[in-house]
Amino acid sequence: MFGRPLRKTLAISAAVTACALLSVNTVIAAEDAVEVTVNKVSDKGVGEKIGTIKLSDNEHGLVVHPDIEGLSPGAHGFHVHQNPDCGATAPDGSKGAGTAAGGHYDPDDAGKHDTPWGEGHIGDMPVLVVDDAGKADKPVLAPKLSVDKVLGRAMIIHQGGDNYSDNPEKLGGGGPRVACAVIEK
């Protein structure tokens, strides 16, 4: 299902996430957790609900626990975007699925896409892995993020995977936006 470079990236991402999630000191206060609704998006706007994402902090970063159904199997690019809007009209007036969310969250003006632990956008996260039944329920860890940093933003799920680079395609090459969640308490 996955090519060799993607399998290696997935293995590294899974190992980092597992270590952080299994840490003894990862007690999460319920009042700090945020649950958001995930909807399909298209060039017509926001569509049906396909699940939720629970966000919480631990000592290693933002824990992102999806409970999503109805996506195609495989790895999907998964990022925090600038604006809290999943609509189909971008800030510059252009049209497209989820474009109102703007670009990847990049408050430090890194100006490049990279690994979740690298020197790129703050909003770069590990890929979202969807099983053969179309379900995503495996948590990921975003080490540069926290609940406070993502409030007032959106999470976008792309149709394809993420190579954690701007080459050969910009922003990881994940293709069209297929789902979105506005992050608010």
Q: Which helix (H) or strand (E) holds 50?
A: strand 45-58
Check if the beta carbon of residue 78 is closer than 8 Å to that of residue 25.
no
Instruction: Quick: pLDDT tens for 82-96.
Output: 999 999 999 899 999
Q: Is the pLDDT of residue 64 over 70?
A: yes
Check if the beta carbon of residue 129 is closer than 8 Å to that of residue 75.
yes
Instruction: Quick: pLDDT tens for 155-179.
Output: 999 999 888 777 777 766 788 999 9
Q: Which helix (H) or strand (E) holds 56?
A: strand 45-58
* Domain extents in the chain: 4-183
Cα angle 85, 173, 107; round to 5: 50
Q: Is the pLDDT of residue 8 over 70?
A: no
Greatest mean pLDDT range, 10-19, 75-84, 112-121, 163-172: 75-84
Burial (CB count within 10 angstroms: exposed 0-12, middle 13-18, buried 19+), residue 143: middle
pTM of the predicted model, to two decimals? 0.83
Q: Which CATH superfamily is domain 4-183 in?
A: Superoxide dismutase, copper/zinc binding domain (2.60.40.200)
Instruction: Quick: pLDDT tens for 38-59.
Output: 999 999 999 999 999 999 999 9
Amino acid 34: pLDDT: 97
Check if the beta carbon of residue 39 is closer than 8 Å to that of residue 180.
yes
Q: How confident is the model at residue 7 (pLDDT cuts 50, 70, 90)?
A: low
Amino acid 25: pLDDT: 37
Check if the beta carbon of residue 174 is closer than 8 Å to that of residue 158.
yes
Helix, strand and coil in the chain, % to nearest 5: 15, 35, 50
For the chain, the average pLDDT equals: 86
Amino acid 15: pLDDT: 45
Instruction: Quick: pLDDT tens for 101-118.
Output: 999 999 999 988 888 899
